[in-house]
């Protein structure tokens, strides 16, 4: 069954970092790119970046370029997103997906609270 | 970064209506555009990719058109299950989403 499975919910303190994983059936990622997006409650989707799985090339929006890092582990077909210097504005559901989004992860809630 | 502008933000319609949602890109993106449907508490669901290709399993009442900077999503005859939020996404340089269109029952 083709699917993307994300890691569980996270609660973080302001100023810290969070790393969320996304594991896919191997053939989903082969030769393709994987994106990350997030959605705060009641807000639209926000694109966070992508990684080309085979090459490791990445691209991020200018607004987050200093704080976001996307990596991958080819041996486990897993993609990661790490976001640093967290604030309450980073509280959201984080999604991974293929490009375009034929397949999406189930979402991971990241809550930032003191 | 390319900006995507959707209109309208909110659309009120009735069962059986034909509706159109528009998405405009700040620069040409050729046909690198996808449309998604999202319901509360769920991940987005792909409806259309490459501007006009219907995703497998999506009802044929959904259609997409356009190229360059202007794109449309049309639902031919609204069904109860279609009331949701719709997003466009360009995946040309590199990616960005529109702000969404809420389709509500009139």
pLDDT in tens, chain A (114 residues): 789 999 999 999 999 999 999 999 877 777 789 999 999 999 999 999 999 999 999 999 999 999 999 999 998 999 999 999 999 999 999 999 999 999 999 999 999 999
Low-confidence ranges of chain B (pLDDT < 70): none
Contact B100 A45 (CB under 8 A): yes
Q: Which of A80, A82, A109 is nearest to A93 (CA)?
A: A109
CA-based R_g, chain A, Å: 13
Q: What is the pLDDT of residue A10?
A: 98
Helix (H) or strand (E) holding B24: strand B19-25
Q: What is the pLDDT of residue A57?
A: 95
Contact B63, B43 (CB under 8 A): no
Q: What is the pLDDT of residue A27?
A: 73
Is the CB of B16 inside 8 Å of chain A's CB atoms? no
Q: Which chain A residue lies closest to B57 (C-alpha atoms)?
A: A102
**Which residues in chain A are closer than 8 Å to B34, comparing Cβ atoms?**
100-101
């Amino acid at each position: 069954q083709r699917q993307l499975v994300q890691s569980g919910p996270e609660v973080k303190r302001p100023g810290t970092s969070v790393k969320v994983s996304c594991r896919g059936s191997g053939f989903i990622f082969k030769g393709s790119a994987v994106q990350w997006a997030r959605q705060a409650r009641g807000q639209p989707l926000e694109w966070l970046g992508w990684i080309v799985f085979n090459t490791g090339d990445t691209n991020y929006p200018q607004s987050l370029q200093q704080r976001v890092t996307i990596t991958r582990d080819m041996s486990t077909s897993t993609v990661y997103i790490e976001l640093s210097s967290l604030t309450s504005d980073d509280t959201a559901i984080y999604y991974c997906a293929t490009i375009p989004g034929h397949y999406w992860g189930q979402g991971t809630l990241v809550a930032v609270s003191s | 970064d390319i900006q995507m502008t959707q209109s309208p933000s909110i659309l009120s319609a009735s069962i059986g209506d034909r509706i159109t949602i528009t998405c405009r890109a700040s620069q040409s993106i050729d046909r690198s555009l996808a449309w998604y449907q999202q319901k509360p508490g769920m991940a987005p669901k792909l409806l259309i990719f490459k501007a006009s290709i219907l995703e497998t399993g999506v009802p044929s009442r959904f259609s997409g058109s356009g190229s360059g900077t202007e794109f449309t999503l049309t639902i031919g005859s609204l069904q109860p299950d279609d009331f949701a939020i719709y997003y466009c996404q360009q995946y040309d340089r590199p990616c960005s989403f529109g702000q969404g269109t809420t389709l509500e029952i009139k």
